[in-house]
């Protein structure tokens, strides 16, 4: 399949999910023009706020033994949210193709909450920690870096 067909398929899967009571998002993981994983957003169906299409697709790929998306492309309904974008950076596909821009999505859909809106979510990450909508602080512990040092000792580069 070609890019336009795969982008259209992602949109079609998202529409199917809306008809089934879900949110308007789908993700395809593709290798050599063939879909190897399909997933749709299941936040409405499960109540799990991390059940975004991209996250579910990456997890499904891992269940198939695909733990690195090098050599794969990802096709999504809309430009990924910061959570999904971060997951995609960790998964390392060759590229991401999105149907709708954030602005196009925002004309018809809002998925914010008390801490953010679609328009402000990306900007939260650029703010200093103390200025973000989600209060965060460092807890006190004698040796906060112990797990990281242990990891490095067990996994030398």
Strand order in the sheet with 73-78: 34-40, 26-31, 73-78, 95-100
Catalytic, out of 38, 54, 73, 105? 54
Per-residue pLDDT of 30-50, as tens digits, reads 999 999 999 999 999 999 999
Percentage of the chain lying above the pLDDT 90 cut: 83
User: With a threshold of 0.85, does the pTM exceed it?
Assistant: yes
54 as an active site residue: the answer is yes
In 10 A of CB 1, how many CB atoms? Answer: 15
Examine the pLDDT at 111 and tell me if it is beyond 90. no
CA count, 13 A, side-chain hemisphere, 106? 12
Decide if 12 contacts 36 (C-beta within 8 A): no
Per-residue pLDDT of 1-27, as tens digits, reads 899 999 999 999 999 999 999 999 999
Report the pLDDT value the prediction gives residue 139, as an integer from 0 to 100: 93
């Amino acid at each position: 399949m070609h890019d336009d067909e795969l982008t259209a398929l992602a949109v079609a899967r998202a529409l199917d999910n809306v008809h089934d009571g879900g949110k308007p998002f789908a993700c395809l993981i593709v290798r050599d023009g063939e879909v190897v994983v399909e997933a749709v957003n299941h936040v409405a169906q499960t109540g799990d706020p991390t059940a975004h299409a991209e996250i579910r697709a990456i997890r499904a790929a891992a269940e198939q033994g695909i733990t690195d998306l090098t050599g794969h492309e990802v096709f999504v309904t809309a430009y990924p949210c910061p959570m999904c974008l971060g997951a995609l950076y960790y998964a390392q596909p060759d590229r991401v193709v999105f149907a709708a821009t954030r602005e196009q999505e925002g004309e018809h859909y809002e998925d914010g909450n008390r801490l953010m809106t679609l328009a402000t979510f990306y900007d939260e990450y650029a703010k200093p920690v103390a200025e973000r909508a989600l209060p965060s602080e460092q807890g006190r512990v004698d040796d906060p870096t112990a797990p990281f040092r242990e990891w490095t000792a067990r996994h030398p580069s």
